[in-house]
Structure 1
Amino acid sequence: MATTNALIDIRALTPEELTSQLILLGEKPFRAKQVYEWLWQKGARDFDQMTNLSLPLRDTLKEHYTILAVTEDKVQRSSDGTIKSRFRLHDGHMIESVLIPVVADDRFTVCVSSQVGCSLSCTFCATGRMKRLRNLTAAEIYDQVFLVNEQCMETYGKPLTNIVYMGMGEPLLAFNEVVGSIDRITSHTGLHMAPRRLTVSTAGIAKMIRKLADEDTKVNLAISLHAADDTKRNEIMPINESNNLEVLVDALEYFYAKTKKRIGYEYITFQDFNDTLEDAENLYQICKRVPSMVNIIEYNPIDDAPFRKSTAHRIDDFATYLRDRGIMVTVRRSRGKDIDAACGQLANKE
């Protein structure tokens, strides 16, 4: 349980724990429900915002608890409408979230972070060059969604429609907190978003993919694949050395058997590295194993990385090869590149 100055982080309590503690403080059980609604449905960041509670109760809450709220530090707006927000955590660490609007389709997606930094060291990713300092709490992940939802309402007059755990960090290495945030986001006592609107992205932690399947969260799963043979994937994603493609696909088969959820593969194309028709055939062989779809993503250069962006012609040929074999393919053009908000670019730059 998180604490600061001996005060309990009230958002680390379950509803049952909160009820028990308030009863011990001499309060009626229904007060816990009121406090819980303020914390999760209304996003209260201070006990004084809980205006339907008496002043003595608010003072009592301040004496025993704290709210370790996330606060906005910096906002950058892209020419394409994408908004990147840097948030400050209670201990001074920084994380980033990105609002990606597709106004014509009424689709507004937030890309949230799950860790401060990342430990996986993928060679094409700016976040992977940062040291992992700690996991975010469920409440800190939730705050990103809550605050960016407010931002979306203010900017576009519409609420968020989708959440992707594709920001800083590896979500399945912050498993308990990620699952806790999913519970809060989808609960009728939280944001009450449908689980099908949430996607968890992983570089491929096989045993945690199985664990996610067993949790029955009903969220979607996306795999940051980026290479469809072990030699190339080892070169760009060190996690593959302990979770090779056969081990990974076995876990995906388990996930699909348990959830009946189609797997999404994220595939960044790099010029003359993983964008040939031979690479497309290797990817097709993986896609055959589990019902799936492929998102082909253009590479967004980062400092000193030894990769180049594939040409539009190579990407189109790659996509056509897969489509001709019955694979659902989307080619995604990057958003927010001018503010370093595109895929692989989140690194808390000034």
Structure 2
Amino acid sequence: MYSFKGINKSDLTEILVENSFPSFRSDQIFNWVYNNLVIKPDLMRNLPGELQKFLVNNFLMENLKLIKVNKSRDGTSKFLWELNDGERVETVLIPQSKEERFTVCISVQVGCDLGCNFCATGLNGCKRNLTTAEIVDQVWQISRYIDKNNLGELRNVVYMGMGEPFLNYDNLKKSIRIINSEKALNIGSRRITVSTVGIVPKILEFGRDFDQIGLAVSIHSGDNDKRDKLMPINKKYDLNAIKSALKDYYKLTSRRITIEYLMISGFNDSIRDAKKLVDWLGNMNVFINLIPANPVDGLAHKPSPENKIKNFKKYLDNFNIPVQIRASMGEDVTAACGQLRLREE
């Protein structure tokens, strides 16, 4: 049994030809699934009955079952999905201002093993990687949800949900190609961003594979000792190693890198911390997102006060470093950064 959303059009063409169906049928099927958002073969009216039956018997068309949608006061929606083996993951749909455009934040793993001490996702470890089809299906299901509810347009895809994308690299790569393909979900390269904690060996490989896809790196401190306390992975890939990899990435792609910086009260929000970040950045071409830490049950951190965040930003402004304070979205339904945890379990 093939998972339909885990294969590209050339794969489908090969499967059809091997089973004595004309190659042009793959165009028709992809059009039904990705343009018309139809997955029931008996509704694909221009396909012969024999091919409809073949699809039913040989292809798994859906990988996610919707369990629950939690809607925030700010318009953010958090989707809880059940996978075919009973595991569960979450996806977040975020409105962009009032333009009827949306960003979807998708997951790549069931949980996470990295153990960052500000993030709910890692509290129960990682149960497994998501398949290519399970990653793609999040975007497909959200596209159908937007279409059914006449909400507008799915504009951006960010790999910033549950799990570390570079620890599921093969399926990450395959899913990007399907999400980006004009024959499939057709999300433009510059509207896709992958976020990593800094898995150094994969940064340059990612640049070679996708020189137009956005890269965001979670740093959260310009001091190795502090980052060790926040993110255990720093003991393996520290700030020096990450900076070297990012410089190589920029030489290869000429793409500006987004730096994510979580603002944690009393820990990394002083002017001294801002100076450490500036010193670490050097002359790298970056854009900084300052993110107020979101509360997580079982974790002690608190968001920095507003005046601290503004003073931190002002210090970066003095060095002409592009920076914004990112608004927290979906906190009341635990859909904000660092809060995804499968609370319904």
Match 1:279 to one of 266, 269, 273: 273
* Equivalent residue letter for 1:188: E
List alignment gaps of at least 5 residues for structure 1. Answer: 1-6
- Alignment partner of 2:287: what SS? strand
* Structure-1 residue corresponding to 2:109: 115
Match 1:192 to one of 170, 180, 186: 186
Encode CA deviations 1:159-193: one digit per residue, 9 max, x unaligned. 11111110000011111111211111111101222
C-alpha distance in structure 2 between counterparts of 1:47 and 1:85, whole Å:
26
Match 2:285 to one of 287, 291, 302: 291
C-alpha distance in structure 1 between counterparts of 2:43 and 2:332, whole Å:
37
* Structure-2 residue corresponding to 1:310: 304
C-alpha distance in structure 1 between counterparts of 2:147 and 2:59, whole Å:
30
Residues 10, 308 of structure 1: CA spacing in aligned structure 2 closer, same or farther, 3 A cutoff? closer
Match 1:136 to one of 130, 136, 140: 130
Residues 119, 196 of structure 1: CA spacing in aligned structure 2 closer, same or farther, 3 A cutoff? same
Residues 107, 282 of structure 1: CA spacing in aligned structure 2 closer, same or farther, 3 A cutoff? farther
C-alpha contact 2:6 2:136 (8 A) present in aligned 1: no
State the aligned residue count: 344
C-alpha distance in structure 2 between counterparts of 1:90 and 1:46, whole Å:
18
C-alpha distance in structure 1 between counterparts of 2:318 and 2:92, whole Å:
34
Encode CA deviations 1:322-350: one digit per residue, 9 max, x unaligned. 01111111011211111000110001112
- Alignment partner of 1:272: what SS? coil
* Structure-1 residue corresponding to 2:45: 51
Stretch of structure 1 that moved more, 214-223 or 100-109: 100-109
C-alpha contact 1:101 1:107 (8 A) present in aligned 2: yes
Aligned-pair distance for 1:156? 6.1
C-alpha distance in structure 1 between counterparts of 2:197 and 2:324, whole Å:
19
- Alignment partner of 1:29: what SS? coil
* Equivalent residue letter for 1:175: Y
Q: Normalising to structure 2: TM-score of the pair? A: 0.94
C-alpha contact 1:253 1:289 (8 A) present in aligned 2: no
* Structure-2 residue corresponding to 1:3: none
CA RMSD of aligned residues (A): 1.7
* Equivalent residue letter for 1:256: Y
Aligned-pair distance for 1:304? 2.2
* Structure-1 residue corresponding to 2:257: 263
Stretch of structure 1 that moved more, 328-337 or 153-162: 153-162
Residues 310, 156 of structure 1: CA spacing in aligned structure 2 closer, same or farther, 3 A cutoff? farther
Encode CA deviations 1:120-154: one digit per residue, 9 max, x unaligned. 11111000112212211222222211222333345
C-alpha distance in structure 2 between counterparts of 1:212 and 1:160, whole Å:
24
Q: Normalising to structure 1: TM-score of the pair? A: 0.93
C-alpha distance in structure 2 between counterparts of 1:325 and 1:168, whole Å:
34
- Alignment partner of 2:261: what SS? strand
- 1:240-259 aligned within 5 A: 240-259=234-253
